[in-house]
Amino acid sequence: AVTYERAQRLRRTVAALPNDGFVLETDSPDMPLSGHQGERNEPQCVARVCRVVATLRNQTEEEVAAHSSANAARLFNLKAFQDS
């Protein structure tokens, strides 16, 4: 949903979240990204979600991806992906 320009409340919320307050996902396969209505959403589309989130947060895609990965590792107790 964050890829839709009209989702202004969500986009403001995402921009204001702390770095440890989000994970990236695509709503796959149910909700297509903006501009892809009628198409199947795939997990690979998470890169586009990352780009949008990075723009909204004034961060690089690498920063957003790193925060998301660390948050998911912590949330799901994925020790192999957590920093020691």
d(CA 67, CA 34): 23
Widest Cα–Cα separation across the chain: 43
More confident residue, 28 or 17: 17
More confident residue, 50 or 29: 50
* Residue 12, pLDDT score: 98
Model pTM score: 0.87
Is the pLDDT reported for residue 9 higher than 90?
yes
The percent of residues in the chain predicted with pLDDT above 90, rounded, is 69
Q: What does the domain layout of the chain look like in residue ranges?
A: 8-81
Is the pLDDT reported for residue 84 higher than 80?
no
d(CA 57, CA 11): 9
pLDDT mean across residues, the chain: 92
| Residue 26: closest CA among 51, 8, 63, 5 | 51
